[in-house]
């Protein structure tokens, strides 16, 4: 009977471990297992200049003329959507960052938001537009977040807050009173 050397035994164990690990990853599918945590692996399709990106107005009456193509884009009201190529968005970003940094417009594509480094800007916007955040325990955080927004965006935030009060989505009197004092606007009239 032939005896196996230590090197051969180690190689057999390594192969077996590799096969088990491969089997586990294959069984999970598109998920990646790292240090006991399962992370969903997503394929990110790179942007090409011809990709059409949906761009939404966050404030009313916004317009943009692309200097390269001569195309004119207009957003009449909050929520109005126009489609722009990624190339046009890159030109806009290069020459007029204020459209995005001042939250006049929002590209509705996470890849564009990441590429332009706007994640924190739009997370703050989403936070302020969510009625669940307008509670008496959280009103200080909301007021601080409002104070950090650009002046042009404060108009849209005030409109949203008025709408939430009018639609009885925000009804806590202490929250309404705090917002009135902080924003210097009348909200109880909308109840």
Is there a contact between 88 and 71 (Cβ–Cβ < 8 Å)? yes
Is there a contact between 149 and 103 (Cβ–Cβ < 8 Å)? yes
Average pLDDT on 31-36 reads 48
Please state, as a whole number, how many other Cβ atoms lie within 10 Å of the Cβ of residue 99: 19
* Digit-coded pLDDT (tens) for 34-79: 445 555 556 778 899 999 999 999 888 999 999 999 999 999 998 9
For residues 84, 85, 88, 92, the Cα torsion angle rounded to the nearest 10 degrees is: 50
Instruction: Report the alpha-carbon distance of residue 164 to residue 187 in Å, rounded.
Output: 10
Of 117, 149, 166, the residue that ends a domain is 117
Phi and psi for 57 in degrees, rounded to 5?
-80, 135
Domain for residue 70, yes or no?
A: yes
Of 117, 146, 173, the residue that ends a domain is 117
**Is this structure's pTM higher than 0.95?**
no
Domain for residue 137, yes or no?
A: yes
* Digit-coded pLDDT (tens) for 111-121: 999 999 999 88
SS3 content of the chain, % helix, strand, coil (to 5): 50, 15, 35
What domain range is 165 assigned to? 123-190
Residue 107 is classified by DSSP as: E
Residue 125, pLDDT > 50, answer yes
């Amino acid at each position: 009977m032939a005896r196996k050397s230590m090197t051969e035994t180690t190689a057999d164990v390594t192969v077996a471990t590799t096969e088990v690990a491969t089997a586990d990853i294959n069984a999970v599918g598109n998920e990646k297992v790292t240090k006991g945590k399962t992370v969903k692996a997503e394929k990110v399709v790179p942007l090409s200049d011809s990709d059409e990106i949906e761009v939404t107005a966050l404030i009313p009456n916004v317009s943009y003329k692309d200097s390269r193509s001569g195309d004119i884009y207009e957003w009449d009201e909050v929520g109005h959507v126009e489609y722009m190529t990624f190339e046009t968005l890159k030109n806009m970003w290069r020459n007029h960052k204020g459209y995005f940094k001042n939250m006049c417009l929002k590209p509705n594509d996470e890849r564009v938001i990441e590429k332009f480094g706007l994640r924190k800007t739009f997370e703050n916007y989403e936070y302020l537009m969510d009625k669940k955040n307008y509670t008496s325990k959280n009103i200080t955080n909301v007021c601080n977040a409002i104070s950090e927004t650009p002046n042009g965006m404060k108009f849209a935030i005030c409109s949203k807050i008025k709408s939430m009060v009018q639609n009885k989505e925000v009804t806590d009197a202490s929250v309404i009173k705090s917002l009135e004092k902080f924003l210097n606007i009348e909200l109880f009239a909308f109840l």
